[in-house]
Structure 1
Amino acid sequence: MTAKELVMHIEEEAAFNSVMQFLHCYEKQDIEGCLSALTSSRPLMLLGTNEGEVFRSAEEIRTAFSRDFGCMNDIRWGEPHHVHVAANDTLASVIIELPVSYQTAGKTEKTLFRHALTLNKEDGLWKICGGMASVPFSAGTYSFT
């Protein structure tokens, strides 16, 4: 492995670890921890799973996560099913699919969650600057006609 390949491997691992820390904070309902994973040096844009969820500031994310945590408890991410990570010196992309379970209205819900996140290097740390989340439908449950 060349020195450049080793550095890219290290950067990819660091970007992946930053995303996993963000998800861990979400699981623990640690809003401040989640917000600390977001960029403060670039414009921010995250798309949520619902139609109106377009977030362009940390305060919008804080409000959305507060709403999430008001109706969800015992959030648990499972082991990732699919992961793709690419990074250079300043930007990284992390695409991940993993199961999630949580309690809401007295019952346990389980589904898959997909995240596609872009991170930028900020003071030596990978910070989320853009991305989207999706919850895939089962085959045959929707139509584009």
Structure 2
Amino acid sequence: MKKLLLILLSILLYSCAEEKGKTLTFDQLEKEKEAIKSVITTYNQAIQSRNFSPIVELLSKDVIFFGSDSTETIKSIVDFKLAVEEEWSMYEKVDYGEMQDFSIFMDDAATIASVIYGLPATYYMDGVTQKVFLRYARTLKKESRKWLIISGIVGITRPNTEIFIKEEVAK
């Protein structure tokens, strides 16, 4: 009887354990990619509408964001909220276009993913409209069966500086 109980308990524990390292099928991976894209879309919509609540639900507790220099490293959700609120105070409104060049690289077990995409944005501030193209890189990790953002960096495209350099040299 003890052996039977031990066998049943072992089977139960094995069947309830998360499957780590299992290679997913193509269809399963595609479903995971859709879930990841949904996280990114929800994040962008929340930033655009200045609604921080949904953003918190999409971030890992171990989140880290990188800015353009070493002083712009954010290592907590509290610091991230302060940075986002400061950014929101710099403009009246932002409109994002459709995500472009959306690429997801993910391990075969769908536990970690890297996302790279472009996003056209129009910022409105003090009666001035500024159109920019943003490049995002995000890393997501699956925690408790949910995709969460664990790191990110954003860059803004700049004009073709090679033209400006050639003009300066010609003078």
Q: TM-score range by the shorter chain?
A: 0.7 to 0.9
Structure 1: runs of 5+ lacking an equivalent: none
User: Alignment partner for residue 67 of structure 1, among 86, 92, 97?
Assistant: 86
Larger RCO, structures 1/2 (Cα 8 Å, 6+ apart): 1
Aligned CA distance change for structure 1 residues 25 and 50 (closer, same or farther; 3 Å): farther
TM-score between the two structures when normalised by the length of structure 2: 0.74
Tell which structure's C-alpha radius of gyration is larger: 2
Q: Distance in 2 between matches of 1:46 and 1:52?
A: 11
1:11·1:87 contact (CA, 8 Å) conserved in 2?
A: no
Whether contact under 8 Å (1:25, 1:34) holds in the other structure is: yes
How many residue pairs align between the two structures? 139
Tell me if the contact between 2:92 and 2:126 (Cα under 8 Å) persists in the aligned partners. no
Q: Which has the higher helix share?
A: 2
Q: Deviations over 1:53-98 (max 9, x none)?
A: 2111001110011111112222111012211112232111110101
TM-score by length of 1: 0.87
What's the C-alpha RMSD, in Å, of the aligned pairs?
1.9
Tell me, yes or no, if the aligned pair for 1:22 and 1:37 is still in contact at 8 Å: yes
**Distance in 2 (alpha carbons) for counterparts of 1:26 and 1:49:** 19
Cα offset, 1:49, TM superposition: 4.6
Taking the aligned partners of 1:69 and 1:50, their CA distance within structure 2 comes to 20
| Superposition map of 1:65-144 within 5 A | 65-88=84-107, 89-140=110-161
- Residue aligning to 1:11: 32
CA distance in structure 1 between the aligned counterparts of 2:44 and 2:67, rounded to whole angstroms: 14
Percent identity over paired residues: 22
> CA deviation digits over 1:23-51, x for unaligned, max 9?
110000012222221012xx321113566
